[in-house]
Amino acid sequence: MGKIEAIRHNVREFAGNGTTGKPWVGWREGNRAVGSRLGGALLRAVMIVVLVVAPSMLVPGMGTDAQQTVALVALFAGLLTFVEYNAEAPGLIEFRDAPPFNRSRFLLLAITLLALCLIERGRTDPSTLTQLVEAVGALIGQAMDFPYSPVRLATQTLNDAATEADRVILRTAAGTAYLTSLLGMVFFSFQLRAGTWPRQGRVFNVWINLPTFDPTSGPDIVARLERDARINISLGFLLPFLAPVVVRLVMGGIDPASLTSSHSLIWTMTAWAFLPASLFMRGIAMHRVAQMIRDKRRENAETPSSAVYAA
């Protein structure tokens, strides 16, 4: 118990005193907080639903059964988002009250899906916009197709029956998705460098923003945060390289016939690029949280009179 209380004390100053779940908050203030949380949760749920069904709306050729499956997945994702953001304390979604972390990830996912949808739509219903996006994607794919690059490894996942046209299609999609993920990570890193995350003047609540992280299960929260940060960054860096190799070894390559389904290509390439980028951003964010806790400890050590030890 003594070790648990010590760990809790080390974070209590940094965690803040949010109004969520506090019984002494005023009645009107509490109602405003609940109403704002409800409206924000509903808006986020609608945005998630639109994001999931967007490829089926933008790219034709999806069958009835597939449309029903997409609708069910969209409803489940929207319901999960609504429950998580409407709850006083989330159970799965991290950094809920630390904008714009999740907004940056959502924007990254939306841009990746939109770019790939426009490329695939241009193959059946070409327009000026789709041709422009496809031309840019082709140039990006060619530029990033060098030995041992993630794009080259992605194209090598196709089996021996694949034609050069199949490889070009996959290379264009992989290059577009991977470059978008890189730009998303650079944008978030710039936000950290500029000091806009976490936002100045906002209290960062560790318990709310890291619901899956148990600070009492180890000896030091800072060391565990830095360890998890290194693991996430390493996985985010290695996954784009390892995933194609694993697919090639386990499955013997991807059947090029699967490329005829534009939606399968869109979601596969989006997941291949977005998941590593998301892990990379999570690792950077956790390292930043560890740094802020360490700075808070240093401030308390320099001014011992201001540190209040709660029983």
Query: Which among 37, 63, 88 is the end of a domain?
Result: 88
Residue 7 lies inside a defined structural domain of this protein = no
Q: Are residues 291 and 146 in the same domain?
A: yes
Q: Are residues 155 and 277 in the same domain?
A: yes
Q: Are residues 234 and 143 in the same domain?
A: yes
Q: Are residues 81 and 202 in the same domain?
A: no
Query: Which among 88, 109, 124 is the end of a domain?
Result: 88
Q: Are residues 70 and 208 in the same domain?
A: no
pTM above 0.95, yes or no: no
Residue 5 lies inside a defined structural domain of this protein = no
Q: Are residues 172 and 107 in the same domain?
A: yes
Q: What is the pLDDT of residues 150-209, one digit of tens each?
A: 999 999 888 888 889 889 999 999 999 999 999 999 999 888 888 778 876 667 788 888
Residue 11 lies inside a defined structural domain of this protein = no
Residue 12 lies inside a defined structural domain of this protein = no
Residue 15 lies inside a defined structural domain of this protein = no
Average of pLDDT values for 131-159? 93
Report the C-alpha gap between 149 and 159 in whole angstroms. Answer: 18
Q: What is the pLDDT of residues 242-274, one digit of tens each?
A: 999 888 888 777 877 777 688 989 999 999 999
Q: Are residues 83 and 97 in the same domain?
A: no
Question: What is the per-residue pLDDT for 248?
Answer: 84
The domain tally of the chain equals: 2
Q: Are residues 203 and 79 in the same domain?
A: no
Residue 296 lies inside a defined structural domain of this protein = yes
Q: Are residues 207 and 81 in the same domain?
A: no
Q: Are residues 71 and 165 in the same domain?
A: no
Domain interval for residue 74: 21-88
Q: Are residues 125 and 272 in the same domain?
A: yes
Query: Which among 72, 88, 104 is the end of a domain?
Result: 88
Residue 6 lies inside a defined structural domain of this protein = no
Q: What is the pLDDT of residues 3-30, one digit of tens each?
A: 445 555 554 445 544 444 444 344 444 5
Question: What is the per-residue pLDDT for 33?
Answer: 56
Q: Are residues 242 and 144 in the same domain?
A: yes
Residue 1 lies inside a defined structural domain of this protein = no
